[in-house]
Chains A and B, each alone.
Chain A
Amino acid sequence: MSNARRQPIVAGIHALTDDELVSAIRVGNLTGLGTLFDRHGTSVRRLLLRLGVAPRDVDDLVQDTFLDCIVAAPTYQSGLSVRSWLFGIAVIVMRRHRRSVGRILQRAQEWAAKRVDPRVATPADELEWSQDAQRGQRALEKLSPKKRAAFVMVVLEELSGDEAATALGVPVATVWTRVHYARREMMHFLELDPQ
C-alpha cells in the first residue's frame, strides 16, 4: 500500500492548518484535538467569560467545547473559519450549561447562602478592575443572551458578520440587527447615547 496519503499526518500535526486539524479530529486523531486546543483554547475561554460564564465554570466549558467538536467535526464545512465554528459550539455548550438541572440546584444553593460576585477575585485582578471595566461589564450583563452573543462575537472578538451568523446559526441580517440593538442598549446604560 502506498504511504503517500499518510504522509501529512505522520509528518507533523503541528504544521497542519486548522481545516486539516478538524479533518484529523474527524477520523479520531486526538493529537489534532490537542493542537486545536493549543491554538484556540484561550480565545474560546475569553469568549465564554465575555458571554457571562463564571470563572469557576469556564475551564470545564472550554473542555466541553473541544469535546463536542469531536462530535461536530463530521458536520464541519471545509473552508469556513474554524475559530468561528468553535465559537458556535461554545455558545451551544454555554446554553446547555445554563439550562442544566444541576445549575438550577447550584444557583438555588447560592441564593440561599450569599450573592457570589462573578468577577475574577485575585488581588491583582481587583487592582486592574477599573471603574470603566466594571461599568462595561455591567452593561454587557444587561443585554439579553442573544444580543450579547452577537455583540461579543462581532465587536469584541471581531468576527465578520458572516462568520458570526454561521457560528450563531442565524441569518447575517439578524446578526446586524442584534448588534445594533445591543449597541444602543450598551450606550444607553453607559449614558453615552447621543440620540
Chain B
Amino acid sequence: MSALLCPLVWKAAALQDGRLEGPDAMSFELHATRCADCRAEWKAIASSHEAARAMPFADPTPLSHARQRAALLARANERFLRPPRGWRPWGLTLLGAAAVAAAAAFVVGRAPAPLPRPAHATSTTPLSAPRCEVVASERALWRAQTDGTTARVDVADGEATLLVGPMLGAQRALIHLPDGEIEPSPARFVVDVALGRTRSVKVLEGQVVLRLREAEPTLLDAGDGWPRTTAAVATHLEGGTPALERPTAVTGARAAPPGPATPSSSAASATSGARRTHHASAMFDEAISSFVHASYGQADRELRDFIADFPEDSRCEDAAFLSTVSRWRMGDVPGARARAASYLKTYPNGLRRAEAQQIIDAR
C-alpha cells in the first residue's frame, strides 16, 4: 500500500496537458517547489514523455516525398473513374474470410520452405520499354505507365520535364497530351499543359515530333520551342498560308495592324472567320472553366452548346468527352454512359476511348 500523497498531485498532469492556466498554473508551480510528491510526479511525467518522444523518425527525403505525392495523385485520378460503391454481398465476404482463415491455418502449420525459382528466371529478358523519367512541377497531374515496349506518359495538367533515354528496335515513347501527343527520340524536353490545352513545348536536348489535333505534325530540335514566336505567327498570318485556329494566333491577328488593301469580300470573310473562331474559343474556355470549378451541370450545358454551334471545331472531341465526365461527376451514371457511347460512335479512334469504355463498363 502506498503512502498518502499530496492531494494536488493530479495538477502535475493537468499542467503538462495545458489544462491548468494562469493563476492556477502559477499557484501549482509555487506549490511544487515545496512539495516533494508533486515534484516527483512532475519529473516522472516529464521523463515518460521524453522516453515516448525519443523514438527516432526518418522523415522522407524530398525525392521519396515527390514519389509518394505522384503516386497519391495517380491513385486519386484513377479513383475518379472507379464505379460507385454499391451493395456488398456480405455472405460471400464471410465465406471468403473463412477460406482465408483456413488458408492461414494451413500456412501456419507448415514450416517455411524456400520459394521455387521461377522457370523463366534464366531465360533472356524481353525488350522492355525505354527509360522515361519525369520531373513534374508541384501542381502537375501526370501518370507514367508501360505498355509492352512502349513507355507512355499522360500529362493532364501542369509543367513537366521529361527525359527519354535511347531506344532499340520496337521501343517507343509517347507523351499523351489532352489535345495531342509528343513522340520523342532520345530527348529532354519541357511540356506545359493547362485547362486541357498544351501551352508550350521546349526541347532542351534531342528531337521530338509534336502532333496536335488542330495543327500539322511539327519536328522540334534541341533549342526549338512551340508555339513559335509572335513575329513568326504574324508573318504566317499575313502570308497566304491558312491561319491556325489556336487562340494565340487569333490574338496575334487582332493585334496586328491592318495589312494592305484586299478585296472587300475576302476581308469581310476573314474578319467574320476570325470573329467566329474567337467566339468558339471564348465559349470553349468558358465551358472548361466551369468544368474546372466543378460546376458540372453548367459545364455540360456549355459543352453541348459548343458542340452544337461549332460542330466542325477540332475541340469537339474534348468537349464530347468532358460532357461525359460532367454527367458522371454529377452522379448521372446512365446519362454518362449514353454520352460515352455517343462519344465512341462519333470518335471510334478518339484519344479518350479507353476512359469512355471504362465509363460504359462501370457497374
Query: Which residue numbers of A lie inside 8 Å of B, CB to CB?
Result: 1, 3, 5-6, 9, 13-14, 27-31, 33-35, 37-38, 41-42, 45-46, 49-50, 59, 62-63, 66-67, 70, 101, 104-105, 108-109, 111-113, 120, 122, 124-125, 128-130, 132-133, 135-137, 139-140, 151, 154-156, 160-161, 176, 179-180, 183, 186-187, 190, 192-195
- Given known pairs A6-B293, A62-B68, A70-B76, the reply for A190 and B48 (CB within 8 Å) is yes
The distance in angstroms between the C-alpha atoms of A125 and B158, with both chains bound, is 37
When each residue 279-296 of chain B gets 1 if its CB lies under 8 Å from chain A and 0 otherwise, what string results?
A: 000000010011011100
Q: Is the CB of B101 within 8 A of A190?
A: no
- Given known pairs A104-B104, A108-B104, A179-B17, the reply for A132 and B112 (CB within 8 Å) is no
User: Nearest-CB distance from B112 to chain A (Å)?
Assistant: 5
Q: Is the CB of B56 within 8 A of A128?
A: yes
Interface residues on B, range: 35 or more
- Looking across the interface, which residue of chain B has its beta carbon closest to that of A28? B294
Q: When A and B form their complex, which 3 residue pairs have the shortest distance between CB atoms, in order from nearest?
A: A136-B51, A27-B294, A108-B104
> Does chain A have a CB within 8 A of B34?
no
Q: Is the CB of B48 within 8 A of A101?
A: no
> Does chain A have a CB within 8 A of B347?
no
Q: Is the CB of A105 within 8 A of B68?
A: no
24 pairs, CB–CB < 8 Å, chain A vs chain B = A5-B293, A29-B294, A31-B158, A34-B139, A38-B138, A41-B65, A41-B68, A42-B59, A42-B60, A59-B68, A67-B75, A67-B79, A70-B76, A101-B96, A101-B100, A122-B58, A132-B51, A133-B51, A135-B51, A136-B50, A155-B17, A156-B53, A186-B51, A187-B45
Of the candidates A33, A192, A194, A195, the one having the most CB atoms from chain B within 10 angstroms of its own CB is: A194
> Does chain A have a CB within 8 A of B318?
no
**B157 cross-chain contacts in A, Cβ below 8 A:** 31
- Given known pairs A28-B294, A30-B73, the reply for A161 and B19 (CB within 8 Å) is yes
Q: Which of A63, A111, A113, A137 contacts B55 (CB 8 A)?
A: A137
**A33 cross-chain contacts in B, Cβ below 8 A:** 72-73, 76
> Does chain A have a CB within 8 A of B103?
yes
Q: Which of A38, A101, A120, A139 contacts B52 (CB 8 A)?
A: A139
The distance in angstroms between the C-alpha atoms of A140 and B48, with both chains bound, is 10
Q: Is the CB of B141 within 8 A of A31?
A: yes
- Looking across the interface, which residue of chain A has its beta carbon closest to that of B72? A63
When each residue 73-85 of chain B gets 1 if its CB lies under 8 Å from chain A and 0 otherwise, what string results?
A: 1011101100000
Known contacts A62-B68, A112-B110, A154-B17; 16 further A-B pairs (Cβ under 8 A): A9-B292, A31-B157, A37-B69, A45-B59, A45-B60, A63-B71, A70-B76, A101-B96, A136-B54, A151-B52, A155-B49, A160-B18, A186-B48, A194-B41, A195-B2, A195-B41
**B40 cross-chain contacts in A, Cβ below 8 A:** 194
When each residue 111-138 of chain B gets 1 if its CB lies under 8 Å from chain A and 0 otherwise, what string results?
A: 1100000000000000000000000001
**B60 cross-chain contacts in A, Cβ below 8 A:** 41-42, 45
Q: Which of A104, A111, A161, A183 contacts B101 (CB 8 A)?
A: A104
Q: Which of B13, B16, B56, B72 contacts A34 (CB 8 A)?
A: B72
Q: Which of A113, A133, A135, A192 contacts B112 (CB 8 A)?
A: A113
- Looking across the interface, which residue of chain B has its beta carbon closest to that of A137? B55
**A129 cross-chain contacts in B, Cβ below 8 A:** 56
> Does chain A have a CB within 8 A of B47?
yes
Q: Which of A62, A113, A183 contacts B45 (CB 8 A)?
A: A183
Q: Is the CB of A176 within 8 A of B17?
A: yes
User: Nearest-CB distance from A39 to chain B (Å)?
Assistant: 11
Q: Which of A37, A130, A136, A180 contacts B72 (CB 8 A)?
A: A37
- B residues 25-56 touching A (CB-CB < 8 Å): 37, 40-41, 44-45, 47-56
Q: Is the CB of A132 within 8 A of B50?
A: yes
User: Nearest-CB distance from A105 to chain B (Å)?
Assistant: 5
**B54 cross-chain contacts in A, Cβ below 8 A:** 130, 132-133, 136
Q: Is the CB of B56 within 8 A of A125?
A: yes
Of the candidates B103, B105, B108, the one having the most CB atoms from chain A within 10 angstroms of its own CB is: B108
Of the candidates B2, B16, B73, B105, the one having the most CB atoms from chain A within 10 angstroms of its own CB is: B73
> Does chain A have a CB within 8 A of B256?
no
> Does chain A have a CB within 8 A of B197?
no
- Looking across the interface, which residue of chain A has its beta carbon closest to that of B71? A63
User: Nearest-CB distance from B300 to chain A (Å)?
Assistant: 14
The distance in angstroms between the C-alpha atoms of A187 and B51, with both chains bound, is 10
User: Nearest-CB distance from B136 to chain A (Å)?
Assistant: 10
The distance in angstroms between the C-alpha atoms of A186 and B44, with both chains bound, is 10
User: Nearest-CB distance from B333 to chain A (Å)?
Assistant: 16
> Does chain A have a CB within 8 A of B329?
yes
**A27 cross-chain contacts in B, Cβ below 8 A:** 293-294
- Looking across the interface, which residue of chain B has its beta carbon closest to that of A5? B293
> Does chain A have a CB within 8 A of B87?
no
Q: Is the CB of B293 within 8 A of A13?
A: no
The distance in angstroms between the C-alpha atoms of A41 and B9, with both chains bound, is 38
